[in-house]
Amino acid sequence: MTAEHEHVRVAVIGSGFGGLGAAVRLRRAGVTDFVVLERRDSVGGTWRDNSYPGCACDVPSHLYSFSFAHNPSWPRTFSGQPHIRAYLEQIADTFGLRPHIRLNFEVTQLTWDPEELHWVLEGSGGTLTADFVASATGPLSDPKVPDIPGLDTFEGRVFHSAAWDHDYDLRGKRVAVIGTGASAIQVVPAIAPEVDRLTVFQRTPPWVMPRVDRRISGAERWLHGRVPLTGALRRRLLWTIRELQVGAFTKRPNQLGLVEKLASAHMRQAIKDPELRRQLTPDYRIGCKRILLSNSYYPALARENVDVVPAGLREVRGNTLVAADGTETEVDAIVFGTGFHVTDMPIADRIKGANGTTLAEEWQDGGMQALRGCTMAGFPNLMTIIGPNTGLGNSSMILMIEAQLNYLVDYLRQLDTLGGRTAFDARPEAVTAWNDHVQDRMRRTVWNTGGCDSWYLDANGRNTTVWPGTTSEFRRVTRQLDLNEYEVLRRPDTAAPPVGSARAGSARAVRSAAASTASPQAAHTVREP
**Domain around 69:** 6-142+341-490
DSSP annotation of 501 reads G
Q: Are residues 274 and 321 part of one domain? A: yes
Q: Are residues 189 and 130 part of one domain? A: no
Beta partners for 198? 175, 306
Q: Are residues 352 and 480 part of one domain? A: yes
Asked which of 305, 336, 367 is the last residue of a domain, the reply is 336
Asked which of 295, 321, 336 is the last residue of a domain, the reply is 336
Q: Are residues 125 and 272 part of one domain? A: no
1 within domain boundaries: no
Q: Are residues 391 and 263 part of one domain? A: no
What CATH number did the domain enclosing 431 receive?
Answer: 3.50.50.60
**pLDDT in the model for residue 521:** 26
Q: Are residues 111 and 75 part of one domain? A: yes
pLDDT per position in the chain (529 positions), as tens?
444 689 999 999 999 999 999 999 999 999 999 999 999 999 999 999 999 999 999 999 999 999 999 999 999 999 999 999 999 999 999 999 999 999 999 999 999 999 999 999 999 999 999 999 999 999 999 999 999 999 999 999 999 999 999 999 999 999 999 999 999 999 999 999 999 999 999 999 999 999 999 999 999 999 999 999 999 999 999 999 999 999 999 999 999 999 999 999 999 999 999 999 999 999 999 999 999 999 999 999 999 999 999 999 999 999 999 999 999 999 999 999 999 999 998 999 999 999 999 999 999 999 999 999 999 999 999 999 999 999 998 999 999 999 999 999 999 999 999 999 999 999 999 999 999 999 999 999 999 999 999 999 998 999 999 999 999 999 999 999 999 999 999 987 655 544 333 333 333 333 333 333 322 222 334 444 3
Q: Are residues 186 and 50 part of one domain? A: no
Instruction: Could you list the beta-strand ranges (E) of 281-350.
Output: 292-293, 306-309, 313-317, 320-323, 328-330, 333-336
Q: Are residues 298 and 191 part of one domain? A: yes
Residue 98: half-sphere exposure toward Cβ, Cα within 13 Å: 6
Q: Are residues 130 and 80 part of one domain? A: yes
- Minimal CA–CA distance to 310: which of 335, 278, 270, 264? 278
Q: Are residues 347 and 332 part of one domain? A: no
**pLDDT in the model for residue 145:** 95
One-letter amino acid for residue 64 of the chain: Y
Asked which of 302, 336, 370 is the last residue of a domain, the reply is 336
> Rounded to an integer, what distance in angstroms lies between the CA atom of residue 422 and that of residue 420?
6
**Residues 368, 126 contacting (CB under 8 angstroms):** no
240 within domain boundaries: no
One-letter amino acid for residue 124 of the chain: S
**pLDDT in the model for residue 523:** 30
Q: Are residues 289 and 259 part of one domain? A: yes
> Rounded to an integer, what distance in angstroms lies between the CA atom of residue 188 and that of residue 265?
21
Q: Are residues 210 and 191 part of one domain? A: yes
**3-class SS at 132?**
strand
**pLDDT in the model for residue 494:** 58
**Residues 144, 448 contacting (CB under 8 angstroms):** no
The total number of structural domains in the chain stands at 2
Strands 526-528 and 486-490: antiparallel
pTM comes to: 0.92
507 within domain boundaries: no
